[in-house]
A = this chain, B = another copy of it.
Amino acid sequence: MVLADQLRMTLDGKWRHVREQSRKELNGFALLADPSLTPDEACDRALEQMKLLVPTGVPGAGFRKENGGGGDPGMGVTGIEMLAQFDLSLMVKAGVQWGLFGGAIENLGTKRHHEAYIPALINLDLLGCFAMTETGHGSDVQNIETTATYDIETEEFVINSPTPSSRKDYIGGAAKHATSAAVFAQLLTKGEGHGVHCFVVPIRTSKGKDMPGVTTSDCGYKGGLAGVDNGRIMFDDVRIPRDNLLNRYGNVAHDGTYTSPVDNVNRRFFTMLGTLVRGRVSVGGSASAAAQVALSIAGRYALKRKQFAAGDGEEVVIMDYRLHQRRLLPLMARSYAYQFAQNQLIARMDKLQTDVEPDPLHQRELEGRAAGLKALQTWHATRTIQECREACGGAGYLTENRLTTLKGDTDVFTTFEGDNHVLLQLVAKELLTSYAEDVRGLDPFGMVRFVAESVADVVKERTAAAQLIQRLIDARPGDSDSEQSLLDRGTQLSLFEDREQHVLETGARRLQRAGKDKEKAFEIFNNAQDHVVKAGRVHIDRVVLEAFTAGIARCEDPEAQALLRDVCDLYALSIIEEDKAWFMEHKRLTATRSKAVTSEVNNLLEKLRPYTLILIEGFAVPEESLGASMLVD
């Protein structure tokens, strides 16, 4: 097998068969976006494309077998992620239907909901949307204003939007296609509130007319995702049967009595949200997929495009310029790294979601990593696609070369399914409070009361292939300053781990002061906010490096393994290079050694330059589906 195939095999991970199947099938569906369509036409086209997916088995894969699904959550999210290589509108629309709407029904509903809705939503007889976000509350979902008040007389819930800011906003599917919505609202019964719950609410007739009391509207033009019919919904005392409450985590009896298996209202809300983790896993993976497409386009162009003559008078292929290598190769290395981390995340999610009794701590770790990886992967996509666009000059600006479409479509990924800055604070919060039970569901500021005395143990928990990682760290050649050791994996792992521990510990100490000084609590928290975000980021950096390390160990081909080791070095050292000021400020690197990091990165660029095409082929984006006319001779 040739080297590129070995890379692809390794990078494809456990759901390789799904990826292989998708590459073949999707390529035949001619899914690439058509810029000449009106938004309305584009939405209809995306819906038609979804119908093509139904027979592939991907849409139902993630649902439980007893509900008519495939019982393979890993396949479900991998299948969605693969769509992102072709068209992001399709990916989002599919993600809304089968991931968010379907996920809410399956995870928050009970048998009666499963039977009534799941088979129908898998085969698109029922089109749904996921109505959580409101105009006034996006990140702070727990404080949405929509109400669902139980009417004991008629045994119905009354759904209402009391204020302009309670309008459901940006809801994919709400502008046109969805006939039902999974609506998140404050449940009120017998004059008492029980927090946010989810309800199935019919919003329009099969002919597309708004249901009585429901007013939908279109969000209009967007920065991308023309094929997604994002809309707004207002409810004016809309009545739904009591049975439409998705009642797995909270039930209302005929007489209005509320019961729940989870007493604490915060914990209940976040338990519900936790079951919907698949959304973030899909968005992060899809962002990475889009970044790989962009790198495949810009990388292939850079191997073909020549500009300026060197000393010998011959024009130079632009990939031969160090500057161009600097621009593209570290991003490729990072894309490799995130794919390994994504594969590990999917495997963990799949395991937890098929376990009979999932471990609650593992569930929270999963949520934290899904949130953090989503943040880093989506920022990586935004940055990478931008760099690729610029690296192709004027050609990169033409829609016929796809990069601007990728850019516009993925742009919202950094803020939907959780704003990245909020998500990284969430990651940090879990670590800084050592997953304390009572902290769930608090706003970022709220964590200050629960910061753990010691966070050291959190870091000591290896995130992947624990023994291997420990062995590598133990075997590192001391803390000597020799240049060589920067290429030692144990040294790199240790630098990442040490940075995480230090940032967490010092962050905890800062926040502990806030816990003790109520007057100045917000001020102290606020001053430490960038520190907290950094804690989330460096934790995920470590998770990613450990996943990469474990992934290489699973590669069986020595040549591919050697190449991946270089790619991993480039990933690790370019992360360190970006944060070298921190390492120097905290005496982890001397000035000399810091300069050596940059030299080593440059050495790696030179070493990897001849493998550029092979690394691109490892991403295995089908050439025919790149959709860049400048690559066609």
Whole-angstrom distance between the Cβ of A594 and the nearest chain B Cβ: 5
Bound state CA distance, A326 and B526, in angstroms?
Answer: 11
Bound state CA distance, A221 and B35, in angstroms?
Answer: 7
Best-buried of A394, A526, A529 by chain B (most CB within 10 Å): A394
Residue pair A222, B404 in contact (C-beta under 8 Å): yes
A382 interface residue (CB < 8 Å to B): yes
In the bound complex, residues from chain B placing their C-beta under 8 Å from that of A411 are: 389, 397, 404, 407
* Known A322-B530, A581-B581, A585-B595; contact A138-B221, beta-carbon cutoff 8 A: no
In the bound complex, residues from chain B placing their C-beta under 8 Å from that of A393 are: 138-139, 415, 419
Chain B residue nearest to A633 (CB atoms) is B164
* Known A220-B400, A326-B530, A404-B411; contact A310-B584, beta-carbon cutoff 8 A: no
Q: How many copies does the complex hold?
A: 2
A113 interface residue (CB < 8 Å to B): no
A137 interface residue (CB < 8 Å to B): yes
Bound state CA distance, A533 and B324, in angstroms?
Answer: 12
Residue pair A311, B394 in contact (C-beta under 8 Å): no
A124 interface residue (CB < 8 Å to B): no
Bound state CA distance, A65 and B526, in angstroms?
Answer: 58
Chain B residue nearest to A416 (CB atoms) is B394
Best-buried of A400, A415, A526, A581 by chain B (most CB within 10 Å): A581
Residue pair B397, A445 in contact (C-beta under 8 Å): no
Residue pair A414, B443 in contact (C-beta under 8 Å): no
Chain B residue nearest to A138 (CB atoms) is B393
Residue pair B526, A321 in contact (C-beta under 8 Å): yes
Bound state CA distance, A119 and B251, in angstroms?
Answer: 79
Whole-angstrom distance between the Cβ of A598 and the nearest chain B Cβ: 9
Q: Tally chain A residues at the interface, Cβ within 8 Å.
A: 72
Bound state CA distance, A415 and B309, in angstroms?
Answer: 20
Best-buried of A35, A310, A407, A586 by chain B (most CB within 10 Å): A310
Q: Which of B140, B222, B386, B533 contacts A308 (CB 8 A)?
A: B140
Residue pair B521, A140 in contact (C-beta under 8 Å): no
Contact with B along A340-376 (1 / 0, CB 8 A): 0000000000000000000000000000000000000
Whole-angstrom distance between the Cβ of A170 and the nearest chain B Cβ: 4
Residue pair A307, B137 in contact (C-beta under 8 Å): yes
Bound state CA distance, A308 and B316, in angstroms?
Answer: 54
Residue pair A398, B526 in contact (C-beta under 8 Å): no
Chain B residue nearest to A310 (CB atoms) is B522
In the bound complex, residues from chain B placing their C-beta under 8 Å from that of A400 are: 220-221
In the bound complex, residues from chain B placing their C-beta under 8 Å from that of A416 are: 394
Bound state CA distance, A178 and B396, in angstroms?
Answer: 24
Residues in A287-325 with C-beta less than 8 Å from chain B: 307-311, 315-316, 320-323
A587 interface residue (CB < 8 Å to B): yes
Whole-angstrom distance between the Cβ of A277 and the nearest chain B Cβ: 20
In the bound complex, residues from chain B placing their C-beta under 8 Å from that of A586 are: 591
In the bound complex, residues from chain B placing their C-beta under 8 Å from that of A404 are: 222-224, 408, 411
Whole-angstrom distance between the Cβ of A313 and the nearest chain B Cβ: 11
Whole-angstrom distance between the Cβ of A393 and the nearest chain B Cβ: 5
In the bound complex, residues from chain B placing their C-beta under 8 Å from that of A315 are: 140
Residues in A494-529 with C-beta less than 8 Å from chain B: 518, 521-522, 526-527, 529
Residue pair B527, A307 in contact (C-beta under 8 Å): no
9 smallest CB-CB distances across A and B, nearest first, come from A223-B404, A221-B399, A581-B581, A35-B221, A308-B443, A170-B394, A580-B581, A397-B412, A322-B529
Given known contacts A323-B530, A404-B411, what 8 new A-B pairs fall within 8 Å (CB)?
A: A35-B220, A36-B221, A139-B307, A222-B399, A224-B397, A584-B591, A584-B594, A585-B595
